[in-house]
């Protein structure tokens, strides 16, 4: 397993991967259900590459779900269904209270459910999930907040309120991770070692990916990646965040087809 590789690298190929062709989407058998997490509610997952674990935290938000559980599954097994989803943290009791709406924390002190989008990221140096900002919280008010949270994968508990620096404004939340464990947000980079934000040039909210060879982030989407727009954004941003460069894409049949799709809620990897 690569500790910070560009992709998941298996030390030995699990049976479910045998014979799978390149460049095709497949369903990994035995992984459906997400362990009860409401991942379909505009939510994503973190990947811990050293154990090939998919980890879902706080998925839900708005009126979709108030559930704030944390679940995970390892896709190293020949048959992931034999291992199954692990409930790392059951979350808050299913009542109101403690699941109060329109707040970053429920009355029991646990972080509230939200549309996590790209926000749930694994910080390898800390061995924690780090969720910067609190977007699209559970409740009918379409409320976001600046609170950040960390989940300890050894103890399977949430860090205390206020452990990690809040984002500058509620519209800022984590979008991508670099190979050092730092997290890129809209207009800021969070440094894990100092728990602070380095301001940078303005760039799209999402989606983005870090290029460890050229040492820059790359952002590519229609509009901001969440709201449809006929304008395609393609930008390269230097590692220090100081320089933003527009990318011109050459004409091709593939590019024409992609433009016609006008994809919304895209992701980069």
pLDDT at 13 over 90: no
pLDDT value of residue 55: 98
Q: Is 185 exposed, middle or buried (CB count within 10 Å of its CB: 0-12, 13-18, 19+)?
A: buried
Alpha carbon 93 to chain centroid, angstroms: 25
Predicted confidence (pLDDT) per residue in 112-151, tens digit: 999 999 899 999 999 999 999 999 999 988 899 999 999 9
pLDDT of res. 7: 39
Neighbours of 103 (CB within 10 A): 18
**pLDDT at res. 267:** 81
Q: Can you tell me the distance from the alpha carbon of 73 to that of 28, in angstroms, rounded to the nearest whole number?
A: 11
**pTM for this entry:** 0.91
How far apart, in whole angstroms, are the C-alpha atoms of residue 121 and residue 230? Answer: 29
Q: Are 190 and 197 in contact (CB under 8 A)?
A: yes
* Residue 185: pLDDT band with limits 50, 70, 90: confident
Q: Which residue has the higher pLDDT, 108 or 258?
A: 108
Contact 159, 152 (CB under 8 A): yes
Tens digit of each residue's pLDDT (9 = 90 or more) over 55-84: 999 999 999 999 999 999 999 999 999 999
Q: Is 18 left (phi over 0), alpha (psi -120 to 50) or beta?
A: beta
β-partners of residue 61 are 65
Show Cβ contacts of residue 28 under 8 Å, excluding neighbours closer than 6 positions: 16, 75, 80
Least confident of 43-47, 108-112, 152-156, 184-188: 184-188
Portion of the chain with pLDDT greater than 90, in percent: 63
Q: Which tokens sit at 91?
A: 């979350």
Predicted confidence at residue 203, as pLDDT, reads: 66
Residue 100: the pLDDT is 95
What would the mean pLDDT of 220-244 be, rounded to a whole number?
83
């Amino acid at each position: 397993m690569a500790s910070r590789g560009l992709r998941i690298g298996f030390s030995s190929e699990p049976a479910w991967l045998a014979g799978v062709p390149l460049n095709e989407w497949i369903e990994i058998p035995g992984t459906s259900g997400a362990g009860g997490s409401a991942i379909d509610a505009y939510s994503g997952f973190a990947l811990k590459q050293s154990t090939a674990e998919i980890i879902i935290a706080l998925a839900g938000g708005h009126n979709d779900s108030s559930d704030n559980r944390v679940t995970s599954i390892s896709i190293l097994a020949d048959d992931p269904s034999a291992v199954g989803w692990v409930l790392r943290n059951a979350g808050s009791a299913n009542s109101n209270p403690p699941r109060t709406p329109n707040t970053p924390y429920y009355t029991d002190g646990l972080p509230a459910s939200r549309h996590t989008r790209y926000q749930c990221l694994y910080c390898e140096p800390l061995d924690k999930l780090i969720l910067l900002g609190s977007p699209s919280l559970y409740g009918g008010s379409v409320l976001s907040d600046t609170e950040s949270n960390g989940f300890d994968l050894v103890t399977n508990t949430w860090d205390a309120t206020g452990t990690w620096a809040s984002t500058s404004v509620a519209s800022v939340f984590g979008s991508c991770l670099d190979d050092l464990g730092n997290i890129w947000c809209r207009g800021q980079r969070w440094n894990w070692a100092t728990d602070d934000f380095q301001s940078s040039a303005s760039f799209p909210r999402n989606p983005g990916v870090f290029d460890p060879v050229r040492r820059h982030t790359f952002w590519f989407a229609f509009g901001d990646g969440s709201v449809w727009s006929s304008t395609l954004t393609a930008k390269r941003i230097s590692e220090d965040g100081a320089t933003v460069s527009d990318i011109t894409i050459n004409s091709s049949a593939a590019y024409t087809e992609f433009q016609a799709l006008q994809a919304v809620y895209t992701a980069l990897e």
